[in-house]
Amino acid sequence: MGSVSLSSVDLPSVSLMSASTYDVEVLSQSIVELLAPLGGIEHFVKPGDRVLLKPNMLTGGRPTKECITRPEIVYCVAKLVQAAGGNPFLGDSPAFGSAHGVAKANGLLQWAQKLDLPIVELHGKRYNLESQPDSFDNLLLSKEAMEADVVINLPKVKSHVQLTLTLGVKNLFGCVPGKMKAWWHMEAGKDRQRFAHMLVETAQAIDPDLTILDGIIGHEGNGPSGGEPRHLGVLGASENVYALDRAMVDVLQVDPSQIPTVAASQRLGLCPRAIEFVLQSPSELCIDNWQLPEKLMPIDFGMPRVMKSTFKHLYIRFIKEPMAAYAQR
């Protein structure tokens, strides 16, 4: 996919740029430069807006393996939102444990405290998804995400043993209540395309105003948590989460047909055929030999695995985390 003339209309804009460090002073300036061609943070956030920041907060179990969006990214974006007059809050619903517990384990809590940034556990409310005749209707989605004035999606670039790659669309699965995620897997059955369709519909429902992709250091191999860190040196941003995912697939030189969420967004007519690259193009940022999972796992969890996943979430959320907090008193 090549760069398109700035005179073209109705093309989604994707901002890509080289970025090599999480040093907050340098990173903050990089994000300002990244967003400038899109109108800056002021284009997305108005004074008084309640702004959900949705990072990838998969787990607190591997804090040195780049499994989550880096705290420095969240900090810098939150600071920009505050400067624009918005009221940011950090929200997620991790598959295991609580948002607060995962944030503490990964060092995000201390960054949030510097800005008095609330960390909110996302709670489900039943919404009817009517975008497609065979849609997964009446599923639980985050009330906080659906009712926020602005949603800023902050995914991490990672390989994924079920979906090959996880980027912006997949990150919005975090807006499904934690213990419900395994049940969604069971609902989708063994059909990877059907599951990806469900993820794209979730993204449609949440409809993020802005996605900023953390690709400075990614997580390759048997992700989303069983792989290894890989320096990529890339930041990306767009109002169009499908266009940004498509662009990052080109950066990684992966066949888009291998990525179920990208393929689903193309089938549904959401992924654009042409993109306007307003800073750098994927060809300028290409990554060689990105490691995909050695073997893909089934989408279908099956009832025993669903029950095990649900009980693990409840154990961490209501027993392990409270006991750890009590022991530190």
- In tens, the pLDDT along 6-49 reads 444 579 999 999 999 999 999 999 999 999 999 999 999 999 99
DSSP string, 35-79: HGGGT-GGGT--TT-EEEEEE----SS-TTTT-S--HHHHHHHHH
For residue 191, the model assigns a pLDDT of 82
pLDDT digits (tens, 9 = 90+) for 282-298: 999 999 999 999 998 87
Q: Could you tell me the residue range of the domain that residue 315 belongs to?
A: 13-327
* Position 106 in a domain: yes
* Position 71 in a domain: yes
Domain count, the chain: 1
What's the CATH code of the domain at 62? 3.40.50
- Report the alpha-carbon angle 31-28-66, nearest 5: 80
For residue 133, the model assigns a pLDDT of 46
List the structure tokens of 222.
């048997």
Residue 5 pLDDT grade (very low, low, confident, very high; cuts 50, 70, 90)? very low
Q: Are 103 and 119 in contact (CB under 8 A)?
A: yes
Task: Please state, rounded to an integer, the average pLDDT across all residues of the chain.
Answer: 86
Residue 42 burial by Cβ neighbours in a 10 Å radius (0-12, 13-18, 19+): middle
* Position 312 in a domain: yes
pLDDT at 73 over 90: yes
> Which secondary structure element, helix H or strand E, spans residue 237, and what is its range?
strand 228-238
Q: Are 146 and 107 in contact (CB under 8 A)?
A: no
* Position 255 in a domain: yes
With a pLDDT cut of 70, the percent of the chain lying above it is 78
* Position 8 in a domain: no
Residue 320 pLDDT grade (very low, low, confident, very high; cuts 50, 70, 90)? low
- Judged by phi (left if over 0) then psi (alpha if -120 to 50, else beta), residue 250 lies in alpha
List the one residue out of 225, 193, 238, 196 whose CA is nearest residue 67.
Answer: 225
Residue 79 pLDDT grade (very low, low, confident, very high; cuts 50, 70, 90)? very high
* Position 30 in a domain: yes
List the one residue out of 165, 195, 148, 182 whose CA is nearest residue 54.
Answer: 148
Name residue, tokens 């960054």: 111
The pTM (predicted TM-score) of the whole model is 0.88
